[in-house]
């Protein structure tokens, strides 16, 4: 997934591989292997790439060694991952132990509503693995039309559905033109 993201950023910023090689000191052949996902850059090389792109290191680092599967590629979900933004935390209550099933979590937060009542009741601690695209039927934190939502993602024929557990909330079919981004995969104990 990191390679896909590096390729996307480079193209969006209009930087050629030759120019990126000059800016980072990484040869073009190695950059090609990185973008194809055949090799991961060292942490030092990734920092150089981020510096050249003028983007923060942590969002790209969080995609390190993450897989980008065919189903996710079919929906072009790499374009739904932020590389130049980080979550804004409005308050910190305390530190919390990370359960074994969420070892890659970046932050924890409490579920704010009952939209996922059957699976994740209001007040449940959720663990966010930032910039990880959830697999089919996994929970994720999404931004949809300026609202942050915890939902289960479903990959259906030609569409993505953000599934709710509540009878009072509607499932969301993401369509072209919707503002949609993936903040990461959610784990609960």
pLDDT, tens digit, 9 for 90 and up, residues 14-39: 999 999 999 999 999 999 999 999 99
Q: What is the pLDDT of residues 84-100, one digit of tens each?
A: 998 888 888 889 999 99
DSSP collapsed to 3 states, 92-104:
CCCCCCCCHHHCC
Strand 180-188 to strand 139-144: parallel, antiparallel, or no bridges (unpaired)? antiparallel
50: Cβ–Cβ under 8 A, 6 or more apart, which residues?
Answer: 56, 57, 60
Confidence class for position 169, pLDDT limits 50, 70, 90: confident
Instruction: Quote the pLDDT of residue 23.
Output: 97
pTM score of the predicted model: 0.87
Domains and CATH numbers, the chain: 2-65 (1.10.260.40), 100-188 (2.10.109.10)
Burial (Cβ within 10 Å: 0-12, 13-18, ≥19) of residue 105: buried
The one-character DSSP state at 128 is E
pLDDT beyond 90 at 50: yes
> Which whole number is the average pLDDT over 56-76?
91
User: Between these two residues, 128 and 176, which has the higher pLDDT value?
Assistant: 128
Which 3 state secondary structure label does DSSP give 141? strand
CB atoms within 10 A of CB 74: 10
**Secondary structure (3-state) at 42:** coil
**Interval 134-158: pLDDT, tens:** 999 999 999 999 999 999 999 998 8
CA dihedral (87, 88, 91, 96) in degrees, to 10, reads 10
Which secondary-structure segment (H or E) carries 39?
Answer: none
User: Rounded to an integer, what is the distance from CA 135 to the centroid of its chain?
Assistant: 11
Angle at 161 (CA atoms; ends 108, 60), nearest 5 degrees = 45
In this structure, what token pair is assigned to residue 9?
């950023």
At residue 32, the pLDDT reads 97
Amino acid 158: pLDDT: 85
Q: For residues 100 and 105, what is the distance between their CA atoms, to the nearest angstrom?
A: 10
Of 158, 148, 155, 154, nearest in space to 128 by CA:
148
Could you give the angle at the alpha carbon of 178 between the alpha carbons of 177 and 181, nearest 5°? 120
Q: pLDDT value at position 31?
A: 97
pLDDT above 90 covers what percent of the chain? 85
pLDDT above 90 (res 110):
yes
Residue 129, pLDDT > 90, answer yes
């Amino acid at each position: 997934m990191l390679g896909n993201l590096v390729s996307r950023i480079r193209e969006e910023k209009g930087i050629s591989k030759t120019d990126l090689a000059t800016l980072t000191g990484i040869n073009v052949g190695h950059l090609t292997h990185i973008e194809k996902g055949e090799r991961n850059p060292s942490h030092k090389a990734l920092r150089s790439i981020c510096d050249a792109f003028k983007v923060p290191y942590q969002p790209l680092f969080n995609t390190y060694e993450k897989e980008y599967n065919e189903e996710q590629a079919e929906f072009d979900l790499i374009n739904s991952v932020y590389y130049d933004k980080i979550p804004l935390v409005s308050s910190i209550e305390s530190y919390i132990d990370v359960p074994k099933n969420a070892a890659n979590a970046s932050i924890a937060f409490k579920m704010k509503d009952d939209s996922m009542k059957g699976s994740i009741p209001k007040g449940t601690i959720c663990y966010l693995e930032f910039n990880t695209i959830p697999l089919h039927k996994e929970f994720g934190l999404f931004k949809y039309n300026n609202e942050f939502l915890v939902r289960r993602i479903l990959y259906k024929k030609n569409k993505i559905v953000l599934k709710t557990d509540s009878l009072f909330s509607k499932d969301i079919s993401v369509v072209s033109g919707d503002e949609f981004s993936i903040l990461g995969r959610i784990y609960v104990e």
